[in-house]
């Protein structure tokens, strides 16, 4: 029969140290796994569900201000149809935006922005997209302006509480138009009607001012930053009541 020697104090200390090191490694491993999973989930959400953009211009004032951050629902128009009054983000249909001058940025700032863009908390390509409100859907007859300066859709005049018109002006657009929206396209306008490169001002381009639905990234539904500006973005269904009846 063999006698086992009792563990010495140094043995116990060594075991405790090994246990602490193992616990630290497990903790670090778990943190890394959680971080990687969170990044992947954020990437998948950004790619298929929601995405963040910032507002670079005044074309949607006073609804949206320069440097507001918005969250865009990318399920629209893929799974959810676009509605009148929706505020949508879309790729330039061609010639709406001036060429971007080459810019140099601090490499650290560029790397941080790229990382935030990857997980959907920023959008490095915000300057390559536009944001406007949907006024006309495929098949709509959209005109401006009637005797009161209003836009009409399918013969229904729109009373638009969201638009910004300079003092002394009465028209809801700077350019008169009379169009029928083709299949698969949209007629969109900025809320800041006298400072917006929208459908009405791009009628001379090959696309005649229409935006292909497949250029739409999604519908903006909330202002997420800055915190005092937090708000849901309304599509004002009451403004467009009766529009469908006029088709």
CB 206 within 8 A of CB 181: no
For residue 164, give the DSSP letter.
B
Question: Is 132 an annotated catalytic residue?
Answer: yes
Residue from 52, 59, 126, 196 carrying the catalytic annotation: 59
For residue 64 the two structure tokens come to 């949206």
Of 189, 174, 83, the residue nearest 142 (C-alpha) = 189
Residue from 46, 52, 132, 152 carrying the catalytic annotation: 132
Per the DSSP assignment, residues forming a β-bridge with 143 are 152, 178
CB 216 within 8 A of CB 89: yes
Question: Is 59 an annotated catalytic residue?
Answer: yes
The Cα–Cα gap between 113 and 118 comes to 9
The Cα–Cα gap between 33 and 236 comes to 44
For residue 196 the two structure tokens come to 């917006």
CB 185 within 8 A of CB 158: no
CB 145 within 8 A of CB 173: yes
- Catalytic center residues: 59, 132
């Amino acid at each position: 029969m063999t006698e086992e020697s009792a563990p010495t104090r140094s043995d116990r200390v060594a075991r405790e140290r090994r246990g602490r090191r193992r616990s630290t490694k497990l903790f670090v491993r778990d943190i890394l796994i959680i971080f990687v999973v969170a990044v992947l989930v954020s990437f998948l959400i950004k790619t298929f569900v929601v995405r963040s953009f910032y507002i670079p211009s005044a074309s949607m004032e006073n609804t949206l201000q320069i440097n507001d951050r918005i969250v865009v629902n990318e399920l629209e128009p893929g799974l959810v149809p676009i509605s009148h009054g929706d505020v949508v983000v879309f790729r330039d249909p061609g010639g709406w935006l001036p060429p971007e001058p080459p810019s140099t940025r601090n490499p650290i700032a560029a790397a941080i922005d790229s990382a935030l863009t990857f997980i959907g908390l920023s959008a490095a390509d915000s300057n390559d997209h536009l944001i406007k409100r949907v006024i006309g859907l495929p098949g709509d007859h959209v005109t401006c302006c009637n005797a009161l300066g209003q836009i009409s859709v399918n013969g229904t005049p729109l009373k638009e509480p969201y638009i910004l018109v300079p003092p002394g002006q009465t028209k809801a657009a700077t350019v008169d138009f009379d169009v029928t929206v083709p299949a698969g396209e949209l007629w969109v306008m900025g809320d800041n009607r006298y400072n917006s490169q929208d459908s009405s001002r791009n009628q001379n381009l090959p696309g005649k001012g229409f935006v292909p639905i497949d250029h739409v990234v999604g519908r903006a539904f909330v202002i997420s930053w800055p915190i005092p500006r937090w708000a849901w973005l309304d599509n004002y269904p009451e403004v467009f009541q009766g529009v469908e009846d006029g088709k």
